[in-house]
Structure 1
């Protein structure tokens, strides 16, 4: 914080003392910063657009999945780009309720998707349940993927 304040103060002194030399350099730096900012915002909007085209469904399915991984996942890549990486958190809700019943602990399973999922391709697997608050059974809850983070290649 102190270093930033010293840097800004030095820039202001140079701008006031030598405006003919400092102003063009400041404008060039401002344009460069603007270009970098616009590129980062464009990348973020592109990732969000591609993530919005993913169909990810979670169902409690102890009859079709192993006992230690009873959560069935179905992922469909409906975007026009290859899904390279995908991470998410699993949330559990009672039907019609908005309180997340999955506990966020250090030993909570980390969920990640397949690598290189082509456009239009599907992926299915079974996942472990997240730790639930006491008194709730997984069979009575709805599971949702939240906080999706992913990367795509064109």
Structure 2
């Protein structure tokens, strides 16, 4: 932080003292910074568009899944890019209620998808339940994936 402040102050001093030499260099640096910022924003928007095409369904299914992992996950890649990595958090809600009943503890399970999922492909798996607030049964709750983070290749 201190180094950044010193750099800004020295840049302002050079700009005031030698404007004919410092102004063109400053404009070139500003243009380069704007180019990098626009490229980063474009990449983030592209990944957000691809994430919007994913179909991720979570359901409590103790008949089809083992007892220690009763949360059934169905993922379909509806985008036109291959999914490299996917991470998310699981939220649990009572039907018609907006209060998340899943506790986010340090020991809570971390959820991630398959290593690579081609466009149009599907993936099914069973995962452990998140830590729920006491007094709630998983069979009465709706599970949703939130805070999706993913990487795609084109």
* Same fold (TM > 0.5): yes
- Gap regions ≥5 residues in structure 1: none
Residue 107 of structure 1 corresponds to 107
What are the within-5 Å matches in structure 2 for residues 127-146 of structure 1?
127-146=127-146
**When the two structures are aligned, how many residues end up with a matched partner?**
154
Residue 43 of structure 1 corresponds to 43
d(CA) in 2 for partners of 1:60, 1:26: 58
Structure 1 segments of 4 or more deviating over 4 A?
none
Can you list the C-alpha shifts for 1:76-126, whole angstroms capped at 9, x where unaligned?
A: 000000000000000000001111000000110000000110000000000
- Gap regions ≥5 residues in structure 2: none
TM-score by length of 2: 0.98
RMSD between superposed Cα atoms in Å: 0.6
What are the within-5 Å matches in structure 2 for residues 4-153 of structure 1?
4-153=4-153
TM-score by length of 1: 0.98
Aligned-pair distance for 1:2? 2.4
Of stretches 130-139 and 4-13 in structure 1, the one that deviates more from structure 2 is 4-13
